[in-house]
Amino acid sequence: MKVELSGIVKIPHNNVCVHPATDLYAGLFMNRIGGLVRLPEEKLHVTLLHQSVGGLKALCKLVKKFEKGKLDIDPVSWPTTPLPQINTEEPEVILVEDTNPTSGEKRQTVRIILREELQVALGAWVADFCELNSLERDELELQRVFHISYANLTGNPADSVR
């Protein structure tokens, strides 16, 4: 399974399988709330680490240099434990709300919460990744609940609740 480092660390859409029943349920849930826009299929992902993680920005800059051929050795140390297959059978679908700390605007996001065994496996992988790459997670990141943002007020993943 491929992981992308693009400011955040994420499992991209092509490695995320939204079960048809979950898609239907999340869509009905979103419509019942009203005013929300589904994120495009190609934008669905599982965030493993937020851009605020200490040291991640510098690591991402090195990754870009490596991808451009300016570094000979991959700067990322990858855990030997493989990531689990991401699917959304029997998930919890919830609405989360907050206020954007920058703009002060209200945000709402419908999330598909991954099952407990996926939470445990992803949490272990992230802890290994952070240790191998000397990344520091804050309290919010240490308590991360792995999910797929399904819909929000704009349909732009950047406008989802952190």
Cβ neighbors of 23 (< 8 A, separation 6 or more) are none
The pLDDT, as a whole number, for residue 115 is 93
For the beta carbon of residue 39, count every other beta carbon within 10 angstroms: 23
- Tokens coding 33: 């709330």
> At 119, is the secondary structure helix, strand, or coil?
helix
For the beta carbon of residue 81, count every other beta carbon within 10 angstroms: 11
By C-alpha distance, which of 143, 34, 14, 43 is closest to 95? Answer: 34
By C-alpha distance, which of 151, 121, 128 is closest to 35? Answer: 151
The pLDDT, as a whole number, for residue 49 is 95
Question: 37, 155 in Cβ contact below 8 A?
Answer: yes
The pLDDT, as a whole number, for residue 103 is 84
By C-alpha distance, which of 76, 120, 112 is closest to 92? Answer: 112
Rounded Cα distance between 141 and 155, Å, is 24
The pLDDT, as a whole number, for residue 147 is 95
> At 138, is the secondary structure helix, strand, or coil?
coil
The pLDDT, as a whole number, for residue 17 is 86
User: 139 φ, ψ to 5°?
Assistant: -60, -40
User: Would you give per-residue pLDDT tens digits along the chain (162 residues)?
Assistant: 789 998 899 999 999 989 999 999 999 999 999 999 999 999 999 999 998 899 999 999 999 999 899 989 999 999 998 999 998 888 899 999 988 878 888 999 999 999 999 999 999 999 999 999 999 999 989 999 999 999 999 999 988 887
Rounded Cα distance between 66 and 107, Å, is 36
